[in-house]
């Protein structure tokens, strides 16, 4: 049952695609070797998934622009919270008994108040700089390795 629940939950999480109704990635090229990337999830998406997909987009952009490595210049994560309200309801149970020309009865009404459900939509952002050769010093990611690793984690085609 847990496996089925997990499959349904991840089936509703934001996919790795450009921004749409359920969220996704967007990017802005700031220089020939610099990009700002954001990935926004929906209420079924974990913060870890938004971070991973922002990194995956960074790796894919790096490779598609002819670079092999990238460094994160700045990064951040956060999100937004909204809520939905499920309406309240009431129901009544009644019983009646007749004696001759009279009827006697009782009724009980139960009220269930509206329920407010908070929804957190995580997001992650990166500012990256790309390199064709591994620069000396500093920490850089190998874009091909990272792309393959994250695609394997989420069972995506490499």
Q: What is the CATH number of the domain that holds 30?
A: 3.30.1360
Is pLDDT of 125 > 90?
A: yes
Strand partners, 37: 27, 126
Q: Which domain holds residue 139?
A: 20-84+119-153
Residue 2 has pLDDT above 80, yes or no: no
> If DSSP codes are grouped into helix, strand and coil, which group holds residue 68?
coil
Buried b (16+ CB within 10 A) or exposed e, 27-38: beeeeebebebb
Least confident of 9-18, 50-59, 149-158: 9-18
Is 110 a member of any domain? no
Please state, rounded to an integer, the average pLDDT across all residues of the chain. 92
Q: What percentage of the chain carries pLDDT values higher than 70?
A: 93
Tell me what pLDDT residue 11 has.
63
Residue 93 belongs to some domain of the structure? no
Tokens of 113: 């108040």
Does residue 5 surpass a pLDDT of 60? no
The pLDDT value given to residue 134: 95
Helix 143-153 × helix 47-64 angle, to 10°: 140
pLDDT at residue 4 tops 50: no
In a domain, 46, yes or no: yes
> What pLDDT does 9 receive?
43
DSSP codes, 18-65: BSBTTBEEEEEEEETTEEEEEEE--TT--HHHHHHHHHHHHHHHHHHT
Average pLDDT over residues 77-81: 96
- The yes-or-no verdict on residue 65 having pLDDT over 50 is yes
| 104 falls within a domain | no
- Dihedral over alpha carbons 136, 139, 140, 141 (to 10 degrees): 140
- State the Cα–Cα distance between residues 45 and 11, nearest whole angstrom: 10
Question: Would you say residue 56 has pLDDT above 90?
Answer: yes
In a domain, 6, yes or no: no
Using the structure block, give the residue that is written with the tokens 């500093």: 138
- Provide the number of structural domains found in the chain: 1
Asked if residue 113 is part of any domain, the answer here is no
Average pLDDT over residues 119-144: 96
Confidence (pLDDT) at 95: 95
- Classify burial at 72, counting beta carbons within 10 Å of its beta carbon; exposed 0-12, middle 13-18, buried 19 or more: middle
Question: So what's the pLDDT on residue 10?
Answer: 47
């Amino acid at each position: 049952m847990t496996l089925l629940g997990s499959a349904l939950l991840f089936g509703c999480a934001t996919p790795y695609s450009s921004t749409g109704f359920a969220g996704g990635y967007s990017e802005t090229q700031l220089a020939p070797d610099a990009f700002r990337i954001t990935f926004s999830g929906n209420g079924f998406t974990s913060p870890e998934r938004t971070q991973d997909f922002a990194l995956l987009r960074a790796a894919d952009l790096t490779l598609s622009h002819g670079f092999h490595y990238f460094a994160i210049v700045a990064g951040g994560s956060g999100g937004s919270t909204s809520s939905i309200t499920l309406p309240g309801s009431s129901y009544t149970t009644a019983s009646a008994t007749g004696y001759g020309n009279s009827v006697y009865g009782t009724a009980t009404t139960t009220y269930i108040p509206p329920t407010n459900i908070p929804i957190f939509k995580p997001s992650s952002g990166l500012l990256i700089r790309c390199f064709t050769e591994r620069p000396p010093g500093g920490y850089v990611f190998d874009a091909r390795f990272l792309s393959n690793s994250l695609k394997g984690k989420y069972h995506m085609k490499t």
